[in-house]
Structure 1
Amino acid sequence: MSDTSDRLLGETTNERRASCQVAPGLTFTKIESTLQDGQTRYVRVLSVDFAAFTGKIRATTGKTVKDRERTSDMAGLMASQGLEPLAAVNGGFFDIASEFSPGALGGLTVADGKILNSAANGEAALTLGNHGTNLWIDKVWSQSRITFTPPGGSPSRPDHVVDGLNREPGRIQGCGGGMGPAGENDRNSHPDNLIDARMPQLGIHCLDSDETIVFTEDFGALPFLPGTVRAVLVGADRTVKQVSDTTSGLVAGPGEHVVVATGSHAAWLQTDAVVGSQMSLPAADVRRGASAETAVYFNGTDDAVVNGGPWLVKNGAEGPFDFNSGTTPEHAYLTPMNSRTAAGITTDRKLLLVVVDKKSGPAGPAHGLTMPQLAQAMKNLGATEAVNLDGGGSSTMWVKGALANHPSDGTGEERYVGNAIVVTAK
């Protein structure tokens, strides 16, 4: 590494950078900065230049949505599918405290063009696809509606709002209400009633005892869920095959769905979804923009979305970090120097994937970054748009078969996470 005057934040005594080409159009850069207190900051950057890169950027939840896996294992899964993984970073926020689905994502998640988790409405997200032409960061929203028509009858509640996809019923990681800032709140609440559950809230889960959740084959087998529950298994032909008062052991096969209703919603499902009922579940309405004004369509297997927040850099400006971005100036995520993962887009449409270490490194103790510092760093790296991804012990970068950073989970090992962004050769 060689000293450079192009320092990431300006408070370092010296900064050293070294880069190598992983593949044409894919560059890996190490940035190591000695700070005034003698400690070192370790930053790792993957840069994808779509003008030269011939591979793909993929999102994956691993083998199932409900379970967690290491970023390196998700890259290995790509290898088992013959896709030749080149590099990977951890992805978005997930519900690590859920016993029902600890790997379920706390926001909109799309992999291979398929929606796997619904949005924490109003959250920021990174969208990848179509070899960089469908590359953007924006607020995202989603809503689905479902109808069950009993044999020879009429639905009692047509176009019933679906509260979530592939997650624990009653537990909304990241909060977020209905479609658009004035959308239906659906009775979400915070356990201590301290925040507005209609807005996205980083690192916080909200509650709703009356929910309807849809599970796809991607989730895996459903565990036991306590409380008032009604569950139905719907075949690939959209006909109800099985009804149950427990979720335990239910699993959706290819093209099938399991629909679970809790609390007051259970009575509706018991009335309308009997064996032989027909399910109508149109494609989710996904939108982007401050007021959910622009429709989003996922048309190909290249499309992917990773949830995140806050929005670090917007139109070349840092922040703001405010309530509308899922944070407040006093938010616990903003001020600590933590390990961080972020994604950015440059003016010339390069994708930046960045990981910052905390706690340890090859030269001893390491500094992380506060969220405002991360925004400044992303801007100084050339990003005109950037979003924070899951950080702390989740922050992981893997390049060509080996970890490229020093994960800071309490175990000292790589954390099992909900999803990952994987760069593949094909």
Structure 2
Amino acid sequence: MSDTSDRLLAETTSERRALCQVAPGLTFMKIESTLQDGRTRYVRALTVDFASFTGKIRATEGETVMDREKTSAMAELMASQGLKPLAAVNGGFFDIASTFSPGALGGLTVVDGKVLNSASNGESALALGNHGTNLWIDKVWSQSKITFTPPGGNPSRPDHVLDGLNREPGRIQGCGGGFGPAGVNDRNANAKNLIDPRMPQVGIHCLDSEETILFTEEFGALPFLAGTVRAVLIGVDRTVKRVSDTTDGMVAAPGEHVVVATGSHAEWLKADAVIGSTMSLPAAAVQRGASAETPVHFPGADDATVNGGPRLVKNGSVGPFDFSGSTTPQYAYLAPRNARTAAGITAGRELVLVVVDKKSGPKDAAHGLTMAQLAEAMKNLGAADAINLDGGGSSTMWVKGAVVNHPSDGVGEERRVGNAIVITAK
């Protein structure tokens, strides 16, 4: 038993567990631990046993990528789409401070088999596809390029690297690379704020005044973006239909795209993407592994991923979490006790989703868990692999029509978040 586990158990004087079946193969558990100081730690857990569960695990960003919505509302939206939501938890990190796209996710997001957000290269992600057969946690990388061919001619220039997908140009949540070369993180602006400028960081963002971003129909209408900008609307037939020096009013209808470039990239787009030009956009290449060594495909409509980090448990071992002497923003989030959301995969390939409350729940509630304690808690719940998801005020669990934890984004308030993991009956 690790020192962290010893400390976690040493805080506890008694523990009460209550288990109920939400549906065949889906169980909900309440864990309430009385601590030595008299407070109570509130933990809620969902377990999906794919051997008997006949429903589906879905990721959703709500009605549009750019907006935020409550976890409960995202679950209930699926009911209006003819599905039967059973349970849900909040998902990955999103750019809460962006005024351009406050719901945009900070890493790889796949919904219904479609990549909607690029990876912060080197980040961790949770894959949920194909009824548990495509269930994994790993570092992920993504890359994509576009080319514009003039009417009746050859491409005027080589392929152009896309920096991101469905997010604010110039603002990189988590500071990871975007659609750059596999295994390379080229987003090192504000490097002085990073622990390791080559890797993505939780809780901060980087700036880049020269980017090219692709927007899909799922984003919604683009807001105004200041500075040197070029925006082009790409029709269903992949030809340029409209060009503009502003993003205001640009929106991609079903099957369409909008490309936005800033800084020197805007000059490239102005020169190459003229009315009638044809855009070539190969599918985004996604890799997983420490060195982006394994290609990843999302062939089915059920495939989904959510971003997260850090990795909590890997092959049954709790990762090292050394925060001594650190004052950087991401450590300020990782080190202290906080409300937490996490996902784990057991050795038997079950999915475990966990939410831990913070002090703004009941008056006797404990102050959440540190990241190291969360990792140990996930291991104690049977996770052989586990990942931290967005926590703090975002941490929410919803089961069959009701929020079952105590969200900490204000007293009793549920935060509007970027995405959610929703378990449905079909």
TM bucket by the smaller chain? Answer: over 0.9
Q: Which amino acid aligns with 1:18?
A: A
Point out where structure 1 has 5 or more consecutive residues left out of the alignment.
1-5
**Counterpart amino acid of residue 32 in structure 2:** E
Residue 3 of structure 1 is matched in structure 2 by none
Q: Quote the Cα distance in structure 1 between the aligned partners of 2:388 and 2:185.
A: 27
**In structure 2, C-alpha distance between the alignment counterparts of 1:363 and 1:176, rounded to whole Å:** 39
Give the CA deviation at 1:195. Answer: 4.8
Question: Where in structure 2 are the equivalents of 1:56-205 lying within 5 Å?
Answer: 56-177=56-177, 178-181=180-183, 183=184, 185=186, 188-190=188-190, 194-205=194-205
Q: Secondary structure at the match of 1:341?
A: strand
Go from structure 1 to structure 2 and tell me whether the alpha carbon gap of 1:154 and 1:342 turns closer, same or farther (over 3 Å shift): same
Which whole-Å deviations, capped at 9, do the CAs of 1:84-111 have from their partners, x for residues lacking one? 0000000000000000000000000001
Q: Find the aligned partners of 1:81 and 1:194 in 2 and give their Cα distance.
A: 42
Say whether the 8 Å CA contact 2:172–2:207 is kept in structure 1.
yes
Kept in 1: contact 2:361–2:412 (CA 8 A):
no
* SS of aligned partner of 1:58: strand
Do the aligned partners of residues 356 and 194 (structure 1) sit closer, same or farther apart at CA in structure 2, a change above 3 Å counting?
A: closer
The percentage of counterpart residues that share the same residue type is 80
Query: Aligned partners of 1:388, 1:370: CA distance in 2, in Å?
Result: 11
Shift of 1:147: 0.4
CA separation of 1:18/1:194 partners in 2, compared to 1, >3 Å: closer, same or farther?
closer
1:218 and 2:223 equivalent? no
Per the normalisation by structure 1, the TM-score is 0.94
Q: Aligned pair 1:276/2:276, yes or no?
A: yes
- Alignment partner of 1:265: what SS? helix
**2:254 match:** 254
User: Does the alignment pair 1:14 with 2:14?
Assistant: yes
**Structure 2 stretches lacking a partner, 5+ long:** 1-5
C-alpha distance in 2 between matches for 1:11 and 1:365 = 14
Deviations 1:32-75 (A, max 9, x none): 00101111100000000000100000000000000000000000
Distance 1:398 1:13 in 2: 28
Q: CA deviation at 1:199?
A: 1.0
- 2:335 partner letter: T
Distance 1:29 1:319 in 2: 25
Partner Cα separation in structure 2 for residue 57 and residue 7 of structure 1 = 34
* Correspondence for 1:348: 348
* C-alpha distance in 1 between matches for 2:271 and 2:200: 33
How far does the alpha carbon of each residue in 1:345-387 deviate from its partner, in whole angstroms, 9 at most, with x for none? 0010110000000013346333200000000000000000000
Query: In the alignment, residue 175 of structure 2 is paired with which amino acid?
Result: C
The 8 Å contact of residues 233 and 241 in structure 1, kept in 2 or not, is answered as yes
Q: Does the 8 Å CA contact 1:20/1:27 hold for their aligned counterparts?
A: yes
Partner of 1:232: 232
1:390 maps to: 390
- Offset at residue 11 of structure 1 (A): 2.1
Q: The residue matched to 1:175 in structure 2 has which SS?
A: coil
- 1:364 is aligned to 364
In structure 2, relative to structure 1, the CA distance for the partners of 1:194 and 1:298 (3 Å cut) is: closer
Aligned counterparts of 1:91 and 1:286: Cα–Cα separation in 2: 20
Deviation at 1:82, TM superposition (A): 1.2
CA, structure 1 residues 266+86, in 2 after alignment: closer, same or farther (shift >3 Å)?
same
Deviation per residue, 1:106-159 (Å, 9 max, x gap): 000001101110000000100001110110000000011000111133333322
Query: Which residue of the partner structure matches residue 53 of structure 1?
Result: 53
- Partner of 1:271, secondary structure, is helix
In structure 2, how many angstroms separate the alpha carbons of the residues matched to 1:383 and 1:115?
27
* Preserved CA contact (<8 Å) 1:25 1:50: yes
Shift of the 210–411 alpha-carbon distance from structure 1 to 2, 3 Å rule, reads farther
Tell me, yes or no, if the aligned pair for 1:190 and 1:196 is still in contact at 8 Å: no
Cα displacement string for residues 290-346 of structure 1 (whole angstroms, at most 9, x for unaligned residues): 0000000010110000000000000100013479xxx99982222211000000000
TM-score by length of 2: 0.94
**Aligned counterparts of 2:408 and 2:329: Cα–Cα separation in 1:** 25
Q: Which moved more, 1:158-167 or 1:362-371?
A: 362-371
Task: Say whether the 8 Å CA contact 2:121–2:185 is kept in structure 1.
Answer: no
Q: Distance in 2 between matches of 1:26 and 1:184?
A: 39
Aligned to 2:3: none
Q: Closer, same or farther in 2 for the Cα pair 1:162/1:411, shift >3 Å? A: farther
CA deviation map 1:3-29 (0-9, x unaligned): xxx997342010000000000000000
Counterpart of 1:209 in structure 2: which amino acid? S
Letter in 2 for 1:208: D
Which AA in structure 2 matches 1:213?
A: I
Aligned residue in 2 for 1:379: 379
What are the superposed Cα offsets for residues 210-239 of structure 1, whole Å, 9 maximum, x if unpaired? 000000000000000000000000001000
Give the superposed CA RMSD. Answer: 2.0
Equivalent residues of 2:203, 2:329 under 8 A apart: no
Give the letter aligned to residue 173 of structure 1: Q
What letter corresponds to residue 69 of structure 2 in structure 1?
Answer: E
Structure 1 Cα separation of the partners of residues 328 and 182 of structure 2: 20
Cα 1:217–1:322, aligned 2, differ >3 Å: closer, same or farther?
farther
CA distance in 1 between counterparts of 2:329 and 2:319 reads: 11
Over 3 Å counting, the alpha-carbon distance change for 1:339 and 1:16 in structure 2 is same
Task: Check conservation: 1:40, 1:363, Cα contact below 8 A.
Answer: no
